[in-house]
Structure 1
Amino acid sequence: MSTGTRPTTTLWRPTGPVELELVRESGWCAWPPRLPEQPIFYPVLDEEYAVRIARDWNVKHDGAGFVTRFEVDTEFLRRYPVQQAGGRTILELWVPAEELDEFNAHIVGGIEVVHEFR
């Protein structure tokens, strides 16, 4: 996808209600800092994979699961090699927690909720 003159890449993030509330508080434009036990922020490259995590994991652990979609500057994302975390479509980017502010600065547009599970 291209937004203006900067090419962007669509990413998805399965999330629970606590993280989603922090995203809302940011004005739908940034992911919150990682917790100490979360050294990596991992958005995913496949919507179906994000749906599976939100529906099957977040609902069980948090009572609700959400899938968000957002665009990130493609050139910036090149620093993060795609990680295959299982099957062919289980693809993630692994963003070190200490780089999350810079990652957030490269989000183009807002973060939107595209699926909700309870």
Structure 2
Amino acid sequence: MTSVTLYQPVGMEELQDIKASGWKAFPPHDIEQPIFRPVTNEAFAAQLAQNWNAAHTTYRRGYIVRFEVLKSFLDAYENKVSGTPGHEEYWIPPEDLSLLNAAIQGQIAVAGTFAGHDAEYRRFDETHA
């Protein structure tokens, strides 16, 4: 089965929920942004984590998580460009989040973090196998 690597910027609270799932699932998405929008490259995810999560969340932390999803699941969704070439994302409606979670192959891994909106990106590869 073919899979696609995706990235998602998250805050500390969401990361704790992912950890509580055994690194297997994303929690229901924020009411303010109900569409789950994983991105196709780490640099775009890092930009979002720095500009949003590390700047606007309670703990001023932004994390990048990496995960593999079955391509057959993603084929049902349009790969959208968000303004700039290379800023590609999938829009997963909230009612399909459980289907996305079921299509995740392996575990969700932490790829890096920001502490505060002006902090440098610390890249690392934290797996939970």
By the TM > 0.5 criterion, same fold?
yes
- Letter of the aligned partner of 2:53 in structure 1? N
State TM-score, norm by structure 1. 0.92
Deviations 1:29-51 (A, max 9, x none): 00001233332101000110001
Q: Which residue of 2 aligns with 1:51?
A: 46
Amino acid in the other structure paired with 2:28: P
Tell me if structure 2 keeps the 8 A contact 1:38–1:97: no
Query: CA offsets per residue over residues 38-91 of structure 1, 9 Å max, x none?
Result: 321010001100011112221111200000000000111100110111100111
Which amino acid in 1 is paired with 2:108? I
TM-score relative to the length of structure 2: 0.84
Q: Number of matched residues?
A: 113
Q: What residue identity is the alignment partner of 2:43? A: E
* Structure 1 residue aligned with 2:84: 87
SS in 2 for 1:103: helix
* Structural RMSD (CA): 0.9
Given the alignment, which residue of 97, 100, 104 partners 1:100? 97
Q: For 1:57 and 1:34, how far apart are their aligned partners in 2? A: 15
Query: Structure 2, unaligned stretches of length 5 or more?
Result: 116-129
